[in-house]
Amino acid sequence: MEKDIHITETELEILQVLWEKKQATVKTVHEILNGKRDAVYTTTLKQMQVMNEKGLLKRDDSSRQHIYYPAVQQNKVQKRFMDKMMNTFFQGSASRLVLQALDQYKTSPEELEQIKLIIDKAKNSKK
């Protein structure tokens, strides 16, 4: 993914649908989005066409219904957003981000165990 490509909130919603589904028609993406918020079919169609032009999506137009695929990897987009959030809101401090997240969001015992393992790994790597 190019560094200068800006991903909007709506584009991110569409990407999340396609990352989960692996591939989908505009109709399928629209129905999923419409279940979350009011979405207009022609707006979803236009947005996906623009995303294809930007290189965020790939389109298979060999059949009557075009099938769209994500052209960017979820983990790369997450990393890019995390880097931006870390630098913009938390001055590069991972501890500030984690403390804020743990204070504001419900965390399952399994997630807390994973966090402990990551902390232990980080402690051991610094020795």
Within its chain, how far is the Cα of 99 from the centroid?
Answer: 22
Q: CA-to-CA distance for 6 and 34, rounded, in angstroms?
A: 23
- CB within 8 Å of 75: residues ≥ 6 apart: none
Nearest by Cα to 70 from 124, 28, 113, 15: 15
Helix (H) or strand (E) holding 97: helix 94-104
**For residue 19, what pLDDT is reported?**
98
Question: Which pLDDT band holds residue 35 (cuts at 50, 70, 90)?
Answer: confident
Residue 1 pLDDT exceeds 90: no
**Gap between the terminal Cα atoms of the chain:** 35
Average pLDDT, the chain: 91
**For residue 49, what pLDDT is reported?**
96
Return the minimum-mean-pLDDT range out of 27-31, 39-43, 46-50.
39-43
E strand spans, the chain: 57-60, 67-70
